[in-house]
Structure formats: C-alpha cells, structure tokens
Amino acid sequence: MNDSAQAAVAQPLTPQSQSPVPDSSRPSPTNANPSREPATADSGVITSRSGIIRLMIGFFLVGFMWAAPFFGSANVLLPQRFQDIGLPNPTGVIAQLNSVGAIVAVVANIAFGVFSDRSRSRFGRRTPFMVCGAAFAGICLYLMVTATTLPMILLFWSGVQLGMNALLGPFLAVLSDRVPEDRRAKISAAYGLGILVAQPGGTALASSLIENQVIGFLIFGITLGISGLLTVLIWPKEPSAKNLAPEPFSMQSIATSFTPPTKGAADFYRALVGRLLIMVGYYMLASFQLYLFKSYVGLSTKDAAAAMTVLSMCILVPSVFALLVAAPLSDRLRRRKPMVVLCAVASPSASSSRSCGPPRWRCSFTPDSPACASASTTPSTKR
C-alpha cells in the first residue's frame, strides 16, 4: 500500500474517525526511524517544540473544522432540508446519502493517497491536495442548500465526500511524513479532541440555525472550505517535492493500493469488523435523531432543535470524561480490549432505554458518544 493508504488503514477514514493510529512498524517516507535517526534539514520531520505545538494546533483545527460542518449538516440541517423541500421519503434519502457517500469516500481516500504520494509540487506532496480538497468540499456543502432533487443532492454530497477525502487522506499521511514516532500519540490526541468537541458543537450550532438553513450551510461551507489553507499556514512549511525522485504511476499501482492485507492481519480484520459494527449502530441512531424527536416524541421543529442542542451537550460532557479517564487507565493497565468490551456493553444498554417508559424521556438516554468509537482506534499493547 502507498504511504497515505497505510495511514488510512490504521485510522479508517469515516466521519466518526477519532484519532489516527500510527503504525510504528512501518518506516516513514521521509525518515526510516525518526525516533532514532536525526532529521535532516530538508527531510520535513518536525523536531522543535514550537513546531510540534504548531502541528498539534493544525491537527486539532482540521479535526474540528471538518467534523463540525459534517455532523451539523448530516444530523440536523440535511434531514430538516429534506422535509422542507417535500421529498416523499426523507429517511430513505438519508440512507441513500450515507451509502453513496461511503462508497465515494473509500475510493477517494485511497486514490488521493496515491496521487499525493506521487506529487512533485514545489508546495510539497500534501499541501496542494489539502487546500484544494477542503475548498472543493466547502463549495459542494454550501451548494447542498440549492439542491431540490435527489440526483442533485447525491451529486453535491458526493462532491463533499470527494473533497473531504482529498483533504484528509494526505492530511493524515503527514503524521508519518513529518512527526517523530515518539510524538505521534500527542498529535493524534489533538486530532481526536478536535473531532470530539466538533460533533456536539456542530450539532448544537446547526440546531440553532434549523430555521435559517442558508446561513447554516454558508457557515459550515466556509469553515470546511478554509480548513486546509488555515492549517498549512499554521504548520511549519512543507518542503518542496520538486527534487524528490519520481515514482512510477500506473493503474496497477492504484489497484495495489486497494488490495487489503492478507498475511498476519488477523488483528486488522478484528478491529475492522468491531469498528464497523460500532459505526453502524452509532449512525443508525445519530442520523435519524431529529426525526425521532419530531415523529416519535412528537416535538415541533423548534422544540426538536432545542432538544438536539441539549442532547449535544449531554454527549459532550460524558465523552470528554470517558476520554480523560479511559485513555490513562488503559495506558496504566496496558490493556485495550477491556475498554472496548465495556463500551460495547454500555452502548446497547443505554439504547434499550428508548423502548422503556414514556417517549419524552426515553430519548434522553443516549449512547451517542464518540468516546466509545475512539476506543477501537487505540494501538494495542496487550491483548
């Protein structure tokens, strides 16, 4: 697999991605062992304290600036938009949106990884894709407010996914390109924290703008659109790639990048299946939460938006608490799987509360916590 695809395999690139998990067994493309070999002046590997801090800020910003628009749009603005324009089956549209988006995201992530690995721009290998991808995604996200037919909705949403993966695929490859191995955990944590804060924050902002969707899509489009440019301006400048030896490009090289591992990959597939099940369960609730409040609980649009805001804050507090407690505890115990199992048991237990008691308080118990999803992306030290 290419450098970017390796990062994507270690950290599945879904809307719920929490923190990229570096694979220390693979060499960095610019430094075979950054923790042991000194970085050269033109290697691009950041070793200074100020440089690491700037990288952390950039990783946090990208995590926040793609996740807040994504979750705010997908969980609130788009479901309400589909009802406002009179689509006959809005829940079916959401299902189609998620399906098409997932297919585009998987293909685009790997493809843009291949392209950026072979880029020889004077601005670096990753920078052009991050800037242009974010801008394209932001434009397509804003154009969603103009779509009134299913084909246009799917077209613009595919554009959002295409641009986001042009941003995120090369962006996550920077972790192995420029970050020393012993600093990658901190950088990953900054990225995960950005997403953790963005999900309830974006949902709360979208809920406050549910009756003014044009402004909501404009804010989210601009936020996503400038995320790549803002990040590369904050980061230490990426070295030019003009003098790097060219890599051969062929359809075979792209096909190789799409080939999953087959040897010694049992843990990879266990993590893949586990994360898949977590994400399916999570999005079955999160994607239709607004409709649950309106059709099942019986709230008006305004009251449902207010409930979504309260629910977002209820998600944020235990998520941050779980992240602050579970991660150090897991490190101290040197065990990962007990945390994952505990989360897997707690989530359906909370979900079952929706089937008990009066509807108005059933939906107040929710397991929609991104901290649970992040448990499956932590590198294992002991099984």
Residue 186: what pLDDT?
Answer: 81
Instruction: Classify residue 24: in a domain, yes or no.
Output: no
Higher-pLDDT residue of 11, 303: 303
What is the Cα–Cα distance from 16 to 36, expressed in whole angstroms?
A: 33
The pTM of the full predicted model, rounded to 2 decimals, is 0.75
Higher-pLDDT residue of 104, 189: 104
| C-beta of residue 70 within 8 angstroms of C-beta of residue 161 | no
Residue 235 belongs to domain spanning: 3-18+41-375
Q: What average pLDDT does range 258-282 have in this prediction?
A: 81
Residue 14: what pLDDT?
Answer: 44
Domain of 288, CATH number, reads 1.20.1250.20
Instruction: Classify residue 271: in a domain, yes or no.
Output: yes
What is the Cα–Cα distance from 82 to 148, expressed in whole angstroms?
A: 8
Residue 60: what pLDDT?
Answer: 94
CA terminus-to-terminus distance, the chain: 26
What is the Cα–Cα distance from 312 to 52, expressed in whole angstroms?
A: 31
CB-based contacts of 155, cutoff 8 Å, min separation 6: 147
Interval 62-101: pLDDT, tens:
999 999 999 999 999 999 999 999 998 898 999 899 899 9
Instruction: Classify residue 31: in a domain, yes or no.
Output: no
Residue 16 has pLDDT above 60, yes or no: no
Instruction: Classify residue 188: in a domain, yes or no.
Output: yes
Instruction: Classify residue 383: in a domain, yes or no.
Output: no
Widest pairwise Cα distance in the chain: 67
Residue 337: what pLDDT?
Answer: 75
Instruction: Specify the range with the lowest mean pLDDT, choosing from 51-60, 245-254, 266-275.
Output: 245-254
Instruction: Classify residue 112: in a domain, yes or no.
Output: yes
Instruction: Classify residue 241: in a domain, yes or no.
Output: yes
Query: Could you give the number of structural domains in the chain?
Result: 1
Instruction: Classify residue 32: in a domain, yes or no.
Output: no
Distances (CA, A) of 301 to 47, 140, 287, 298: 51, 26, 16, 10
Interval 184-237: pLDDT, tens:
878 888 898 899 889 889 999 999 999 899 999 999 999 999 999 999 999 988
